Amino acid sequence: MQATQIIHAYKQAPWRVQRQWIGAFLLFVIGAAMIAALYLDVTARTSVAGREIQELRSQITTIQRGNADLETRLADLTSTAVMRQRALELGYRPVQPGELDYVAVPGFVPPEPAILLAAEDTSPQVQTLPAEYTQSLLEWFDERIKFGGPR
Which residues make up the interface to another protein (CB under 8 A)?
Answer: 43, 46-51, 53-54, 57, 62, 64-66, 68-69, 71-76, 78-81, 84, 95, 97, 100, 102, 104, 113-116, 119-120, 122-124, 129, 133-134
Q: What DSSP element (H or E) covers 93?
A: none
Using CA atoms, how far apart are residues 151 and 143, in angstroms rounded to an integer?
Answer: 8
**In the complex, minimum distance from the CB of residue 64 to another protein, in angstroms, rounded to a whole number:** 7
Using CA atoms, how far apart are residues 110 and 74, in angstroms rounded to an integer?
Answer: 24
**In the complex, minimum distance from the CB of residue 148 to another protein, in angstroms, rounded to a whole number:** 27
Q: Which is nearer to another protein, 7 or 29 (CB)?
A: 29
Instruction: For the beta carbon of residue 14, count every other beta carbon within 10 angstroms.
Output: 7
Q: Which is nearer to another protein, 8 or 73 (CB)?
A: 73
In 3D space, the residue among 16, 46, 68 whose CA is nearest the CA of residue 129 turns out to be: 46
**In the complex, minimum distance from the CB of residue 4 to another protein, in angstroms, rounded to a whole number:** 30
